[in-house]
Amino acid sequence: MSSVDRPGVTQLRVARSEWTKLCSLRSTRWSLLAAALLTIGFPLIFASVVEAHWGRMSPSEQANRQPLDIALVGVNISQLAIGVLGVLLITAEYSTGMIRATLSAVPKRLPVLWAKIAVYAAVTFGLALLSVLVAFFGSQAILNSKHILQIGLGDPDVIRSVLGAAAFLVLIGIFAMALGAIVRNTAGGIATFALILFVIPPLLNVLPPTWNQAISTYLPDSAGRAMFALSHGANELSPAGGLAVFAGTTACLVGIAALLLVRRDS
Amino acid sequence: MIEAIGLTKQYGSKRAVDDLSFTVQPGLVTGFLGPNGSGKSTTMRLILGLDAPTAGTVTVAGRRYRDFPAPLHEVGALLEARSLHPGRTAYRHLLALAQTHGIPRSRVDELVDLVGLHDVANKRAGKFSLGMGQRLGIAVALLGDPQTLLLDEPVNGLDPEGIHWIRTLLRGLAAEGRTVFISSHLMSEMALTADHLIVIGRGHLVADMSVTDFLATASGQLVRVRAPRATELAALLSDPAVHVTSDGTGSLEVSGLSSDQIGEIAAANGIALHELTPLRASLEEAFMDFTREDVEYKPQVHA
């Protein structure tokens, strides 16, 4: 551990610093808690509703209920919390002026971006995986009281979907961070994030169906969703394809963010 | 040592710093003086590499700031604009910055005590008064025990006790052979703290000299004269090199002539004088004199 005694900036030290920064804000802790509660809470509510109404459902309705969809329904909502926090972790540096202190300590700048992404990705992965697993077992336990819709982690594609959902949230977080670093403004960053994830996909429905299909399949929303969907239609990407497309898009954005971080005055 | 050569920064159509060249020597407190908007903060940002110069270079100890492997050990900076997250405690703020360089917690504790923030170290920095925020900023600057200190308006918001504290601290640091560069728009503060002055106005260099020389050079002598026949005297003193202002009640302020010369002229013409006082240019006046042409936002005076 001789590097510990040598003075100077290293990537690992910057990561440690960003970890301290992430943990030392009340707003960050609350946002992460909210993301976890949303990921867990919605499946439990959803499972309870299905369990309570099961007897009154028609056989076709019953057939439409997928246990994995129930377990992962919270991811659709918690992605908003993860995304907003991702934007904020970058833009708050600019709005508070902290960026001046940060970049004075690390004037090469890029280590800060890598460290922020790595720390946030690690935190979201751990948190998302844990909450998705809790949601899975929790919703299964609720459904088990009527002995309905039972699946196990070992069933085909289940583990893949659970990991895919956690990976999806990680990529959402990185995607949002890159947007924040490009826009450098909290309102603008969150608006751009919401525009890409929630506004553009339904708007594309006005296009001719073939066009819509050609474009929206590759947007972060549907590409990301393919990562944790259990069944895949003929026009949808495979889980690996979805991961590749969403990860590729995110990597491009991170590249642009890195370039701008080095080039721009701050 | 800080060395700027032809430093220029253009923001859109506005030239904030214009072909600025100066050297800040170690072992002295160098004051960086200029009216608001004259380019002091921009120069500080250029030194720290936060902004890239449009032209020219600025180095600290011969290197660009960006090239330092351990910048906090080389340069400690306090910027005028608040540079912290208000939701983070003072201690965590210092710790996060220390960690980028592997600076131990013991050094953070030491600094919290040194700047007198011991009781509030675990309070969120957003709740701090201006003076406490300033002390925290100074702690950040001293974190890496740097050879060069760069402080933008360090006495801002400090109470008299705080001002005395920082003055003593800075003089001590300079006496240890460090380079201390502090900006201010207050000449009186600089006169008490600085040994050397670099004066800028509208982004370019106005003066680069010792405080003593600055005061001697600035603003020609001014003499106040009171005489019942002031108007007559003013006419006698009239000369292209002489400037006389009258308040209309028998009192004149004359520049361009010594009190001796004015007395002789008055005696030769049989004019009685009720007062003849050489006025030493005050520090503020000297400063304003130097930068009069360079003040960006001049109040419009209507007679």
Instruction: For B63-111, write each residue's pLDDT tens digit.
Output: 999 999 999 999 999 998 789 999 999 999 999 999 999 999 999 999 9
CATH number at residue B130: 3.40.50.300
Instruction: For A47-94, write each residue's pLDDT tens digit.
Output: 999 999 999 999 998 888 899 999 999 999 999 999 999 999 999 999
Q: For position B285, what pLDDT does the model report?
A: 67
- Domain final position from B170, B200, B217: B217
Q: Identify whether residues B232 and B126 lie together within a single domain.
A: no
Rounded Cα distance between B32 and B180, Å, is 10
**B122-148 average pLDDT score:** 94
- Whether B174 maps to a domain, the answer reads yes
Closest alpha carbon to B151 in B160, B163, B161: B163
Q: For position B283, what pLDDT does the model report?
A: 59
Task: Please provide the average confidence, as pLDDT, over all residues in chain B.
Answer: 89
Q: Identify whether residues B142 and B232 lie together within a single domain.
A: no
Edge-to-edge strands, sheet with B196-201: B75-78, B148-152, B179-184, B29-33, B196-201, B204-210
B122 reaches A (C-beta below 8 A) = no
Share of chain B above pLDDT 70, in %: 90
- Whether B296 maps to a domain, the answer reads no
Partner-chain contact B87 A25, CB within 8 Å: yes
B73 reaches A (C-beta below 8 A) = yes
- Whether B197 maps to a domain, the answer reads yes
CATH number at residue B276: 3.30.70
B69 reaches A (C-beta below 8 A) = yes
- Whether B119 maps to a domain, the answer reads yes
User: If you write DSSP's letter for every residue of B124-143 in order, what string do you get?
Assistant: BGGG--HHHHHHHHHHHHHT
Q: For position A162, what pLDDT does the model report?
A: 95
- Whether B286 maps to a domain, the answer reads no
CA atoms within 13 A on the CB side of B214: 30
Q: Identify whether residues B142 and B203 lie together within a single domain.
A: yes
Partner-chain contact B95 A20, CB within 8 Å: yes
A11 reaches B (C-beta below 8 A) = no
SS3 category, B296? coil
- Whether B256 maps to a domain, the answer reads yes
Token pair in block for residue A35: 């993301």
Residue ranges of B 134-163 with Cβ closer than 8 A to chain A: 140, 144
CB pairs under 8 A between A and B: 100
Residue A266 pLDDT grade (very low, low, confident, very high; cuts 50, 70, 90) = confident
A95 reaches B (C-beta below 8 A) = no
- Whether B261 maps to a domain, the answer reads yes
Share of chain A above pLDDT 70, in %: 98
**A123-133 average pLDDT score:** 97
Q: Identify whether residues B74 and B191 lie together within a single domain.
A: yes
Q: Identify whether residues B125 and B229 lie together within a single domain.
A: no
Partners of B53 on chain A (C-beta within 8 Å) are: none
Q: Identify whether residues B149 and B252 lie together within a single domain.
A: no
Return all residues near A67 (Cβ < 8 A) that are at least 6 apart: A139, A140, A143, A149, A150, A151
Partners of A101 on chain B (C-beta within 8 Å) are: 83-84, 93, 97, 140
B292 reaches A (C-beta below 8 A) = no
Total domains in the fold of chain B: 2
Q: Identify whether residues B211 and B235 lie together within a single domain.
A: no
A262 reaches B (C-beta below 8 A) = no
Q: Identify whether residues B168 and B227 lie together within a single domain.
A: no
- Domain final position from B173, B190, B217: B217
How far A94 CA lies from chain B's nearest CA (Å)?
9
- Whether B289 maps to a domain, the answer reads no
Task: Please provide the average confidence, as pLDDT, over all residues in chain A.
Answer: 93
Closest alpha carbon to A166 in A239, A87, A88: A239
Q: Identify whether residues B21 and B95 lie together within a single domain.
A: yes
Q: Identify whether residues B257 and B144 lie together within a single domain.
A: no
Q: CA dist A31 to A22, A82, B43, B169, B196, Å?
A: 11, 8, 38, 42, 51
Residue A1 pLDDT grade (very low, low, confident, very high; cuts 50, 70, 90) = very low
Q: Identify whether residues B62 and B151 lie together within a single domain.
A: yes
Q: Identify whether residues B260 and B197 lie together within a single domain.
A: no
- Domain final position from B182, B197, B217: B217
**B271-299 average pLDDT score:** 70
User: Domain span at residue B74?
Assistant: 2-217
Partners of A97 on chain B (C-beta within 8 Å) are: 81-84
**In 10 A of CB B241, how many CB atoms?**
8
Least confident of A30-34, A175-179, A201-205: A201-205
A160 reaches B (C-beta below 8 A) = no
